[in-house]
Structure 1
Amino acid sequence: MELDDIALRSCTLKDTAALALVGAATFLEAFAGTLDGEAIVAHCAKQHSVETYTKYLSRPDCKIWLAETREGAAPVGYAMLTQPDLPLPDLSSDDIELKRIYLFSRFHGKGAGQMLLDQSVTAAAEMNKRRLLLGVYRGNLRGLAFYRKNGFVDAGIRTFMIGHRQYDDLILSRPL
């Protein structure tokens, strides 16, 4: 599949089921084998439910774009911007968080991830934000390389629990 075969569109409340499915499936694809089975299933059930995406899309500070195949409009990934929820001492209303950028691995390296990131950067700049922030799992070396290639630098660390285990995200930032 080539980049010309992928299209982005803004999400509405009608897209919550697709977002929940893609969110859970891509999270499982990325972290199965890293996270405990019971914990990853519980995490996906909570964080990637239709209700969760309904709440996000009901917020005025949240923007989500769905990546779909042009033929058949099958969802393959998405990007979401929200008000930041990160433990940074210099956080301000001029910041925005790339809360999620998820893409099925078979589409990695073909430009779809770059298209989602570029859309997010453009939208954040149009919102007059000064800095784009994100958290990425410390062990996600491919993701870290992608973000660093796109001008993100280390800004902090966030710890979080999934099940009974603690994990670290690196918080990255990029000026807009």
Structure 2
Amino acid sequence: MIEIKKAILSDLSIIQNISKQSFTETFAAINTPENMAKYLEESFNTSQLTSEINNPDSPFYIAFWEKQPVGYLKLNFGNAQTEAIKDNAFEIQRIYVLQDFHGKKIGQLLLDKAIQIAQQEAVDYIWLGVWEENLRAIQFYNKNGFVTFDKHIFVLGNEEQTDLLMKLKITNKTASL
């Protein structure tokens, strides 16, 4: 059974562990060890994650598989968004799922949670950035109705990479959850 709950500061170590493990599983084979180490330290250190969790405009939701934390969703509203999107929208900054739990619909349930929140907040769309070489993620978002609308640069260590910016229009007709 999968349960999704809103994270609080006491969940910091869970978020930190999932972040480091998921990011490493997904990207270590195609990036240098130096760039990976630098990114993991800068992005997922205790101070950085504490700041993110404490930001009321950046809620986290943890997915539990039989009470074991296996993934999470991070949203950004308003000025917490990584791009200056002034529309009636919010960002999905991260959907991270541990590799051993891929294919178990956890990513889908986390995305469904974001869509449910988007409907509650009555936003026009949700958006995200995904590395242009992360074909599995791009396919997942395309399958869920996301379309590419722009690009931006994502810095991993000392390397600039291109992220596709994708968005999903939210309507009242979106599948009821």
Structure 2: distance between partners of 1:66 and 1:160 = 24
Structure 2: distance between partners of 1:166 and 1:51 = 24
Note the 1:88-103 alignment, pairs <5 A. Answer: 91-103=85-97
- Choose which of 26, 38, 43 in structure 2 pairs with 1:47: 43
- Choose which of 133, 139, 150 in structure 1 pairs with 2:144: 150
Structure 1: distance between partners of 2:63 and 2:17 = 13
Match of 2:82, SS state, is: coil
Structure 2: distance between partners of 1:100 and 1:120 = 11
Match of 1:32, SS state, is: helix
Aligned CA RMSD, in angstroms, stands at 1.3
- Alignment-derived partner of residue 36 in structure 1: 32
Q: TM-score scaled to structure 1, two decimals?
A: 0.90
Structure 1: distance between partners of 2:53 and 2:87 = 20
Structure 2: distance between partners of 1:124 and 1:19 = 22
Q: TM-score scaled to structure 2, two decimals?
A: 0.89
Match of 1:85, SS state, is: coil
Shift of 1:93: 4.6
Distance verdict in 2 for CA 1:98–1:41, change over 3 Å: same
Letter in 1 for 2:37: V
Match of 2:30, SS state, is: coil
Q: Structure 2 stretches of 5 or more lacking a match?
A: 171-177
Structure 1: distance between partners of 2:46 and 2:123 = 28
- Alignment-derived partner of residue 125 in structure 2: 131
Equivalent pairs counted in the alignment come to 167
- Alignment-derived partner of residue 27 in structure 1: 23
Shift of 1:114: 0.5
- Alignment-derived partner of residue 62 in structure 2: 66
Q: Structure 1 stretches of 5 or more lacking a match?
A: none
Letter in 2 for 1:29: E
